[in-house]
Amino acid sequence: MHVSKVTDGVYQLSINIENMLFEGLWEVPNGVSMNSYIIKGEKTAIIDGVCGWDGVPEHFFGLLKELDIEPESIEYVILNHMEPDHTGWIEDLKKIHNNFKVICTKKGAPLLEAFFNHTENIMVVGDGDTLDLGGHVLEFAEIPNVHWPDTMATFDHNTGTLFSCDAFGSYGRVDHGNYDDMLSEEDLKWYEEEAVRYYANIVAAFSMFVDKAITKCAGLPIKIIAPGHGVVWRKDPMRIVEDYKRYVAYQKGPAMKEITVLWGSMYGMTEKGVNKVVELLEKEEDIKVNVHELPQTSWGQILKSVWTSTGVVLAMPTYEYKMFPPMAAALEELGKKKAVNRLAFRIGSYGWSGGAQKELDHIMEQQKMNWSFIDPVEYKGAPTKDDLVKIEAGVKALVEAVREAVK
């Protein structure tokens, strides 16, 4: 855990979390930072918290003392949202000092009671409400469902800092270079890859609300964006805003000039077809190809690749009259995240009878995914020469459709 200065009177306390599943579900192979912010005016406020480090609260209070802040002087705890990754520490804070006011939205208050039985000293705020800390006037903006229903952003008028909660966040551990002005272009590109995976995993399903939040925040004179996870954007805050606008737009497609191949195979027969698909796609130099085998690839990575891809190849066998189960599960998750309007092509092997296609049609309809499919190529056992010719035609048709969609 480390402390750093964001700007005058604003400090960040941050910790990297690794070797865990975020939300108990998402792999974070490059870690994720938990960011919390202290605003020191005549009065002191903390925005969001961090949890999951050893030595709570001793370590936390030690760091506050580095900033000449006595823990007892924290008057306001601002909950941009109630998710426990940012609020789990409140119980520890209460053991030392119980004289602070919690600031949250109307929807945050009952969540605070349900999760932590905390019902006193709560100030409910809404759009446009302000809090004067003396030297820092904070304004609140509700941005519901980015990512919890109670989510808000907090804007410090004196420094132009937007504490944006999950909006504009990213995965990826941050150390002492956790500000965009301290990172190389190569590092920034790396974090942008982490950002789109974070987006696809955590807020993709709420893209419509992210869009509204971007519009609402655009009215503020933002100089710095300080999210709950990832890099703080101090030099070029609009860069991550533009990234997020693109991520929102990818939802409905077209996305990028990319094709993702999702495949699973039981005994290598579907894999023979996949090999042909990949061999053909790799010749298309202007198209990025992502290939993921199921169930070996994490859902987090699959969601990210499909989110940024305009085209998808699905290759899976029939399994006991239905679709290969890991593919069915992945497609349902893609549907729940609302990755709609993709261009797609499906191949696959069967033994006793078909069945995968029927389940695919069902998932597409049930999840309202509206993917546009080229005619599938299904084969009994191993693909024949004729099947491989049909696969080649399907791949070419998909490539042309992707090129046409993104041009």
Interface ranges with ligand FEO (CB under 6 A): 81, 83, 85-86, 147-148, 166, 228-229
Whether the CB-CB separation of 85 and 49 falls below 8 Å is answered with: no
Q: Whole-number minimum distance, CB 166 to ligand FEO, in Å?
A: 4
Q: How far apart are CA 18 and CA 31, in angstroms?
A: 5
Q: How many residues are present in the chain? A: 407
Q: Whole-number minimum distance, CB 205 to ligand FEO, in Å?
A: 12
Closer by beta carbon to ligand FEO, 217 or else 312:
217
Residues β-bridged to residue 38: 11, 46
Closer by beta carbon to ligand FEO, 147 or else 292:
147
Q: Whole-number minimum distance, CB 84 to ligand FEO, in Å?
A: 9
Closer by beta carbon to ligand FEO, 86 or else 136:
86
Closer by beta carbon to ligand FEO, 91 or else 271:
91
Q: Which two tokens stand for residue 311?
A: 């085209």
Whether the CB-CB separation of 103 and 125 falls below 8 Å is answered with: yes
Closer by beta carbon to ligand FEO, 147 or else 342:
147
Closer by beta carbon to ligand FEO, 163 or else 319:
163
Strand 137-142, strand 130-132: pairing: antiparallel
> Position 337: which residue type?
K
Q: Whole-number minimum distance, CB 165 to ligand FEO, in Å?
A: 7
Q: How far apart are CA 309 and CA 121, in angstroms?
A: 48
Q: How far apart are CA 357 and CA 296, in angstroms?
A: 22
Q: Whole-number minimum distance, CB 397 to ligand FEO, in Å?
A: 40
Q: Whole-number minimum distance, CB 395 to ligand FEO, in Å?
A: 39
Please list, in sequence order, all residues whose beta carbon lies within 8 angstroms of the beta carbon of residue 271, skipping any fewer than 6 positions away.
263, 265
Cis peptide, bond prior to residue 57, ω within 30 of zero: yes
Whether the CB-CB separation of 52 and 33 falls below 8 Å is answered with: no
| DSSP assigned state of 205 | G
3-state secondary structure at position 179? strand
Closer by beta carbon to ligand FEO, 166 or else 359:
166
Closer by beta carbon to ligand FEO, 83 or else 387:
83
Q: Whole-number minimum distance, CB 79 to ligand FEO, in Å?
A: 11
| DSSP assigned state of 199 | I
Closer by beta carbon to ligand FEO, 35 or else 367:
35
Q: How far apart are CA 238 and CA 240, in angstroms?
A: 6
Q: Whole-number minimum distance, CB 140 to ligand FEO, in Å?
A: 17
Phi/psi of residue 190, nearest 5 degrees: -60, -45
Q: Note the Cα 391 to chain centre separation in Å.
A: 34
3-state secondary structure at position 72? helix
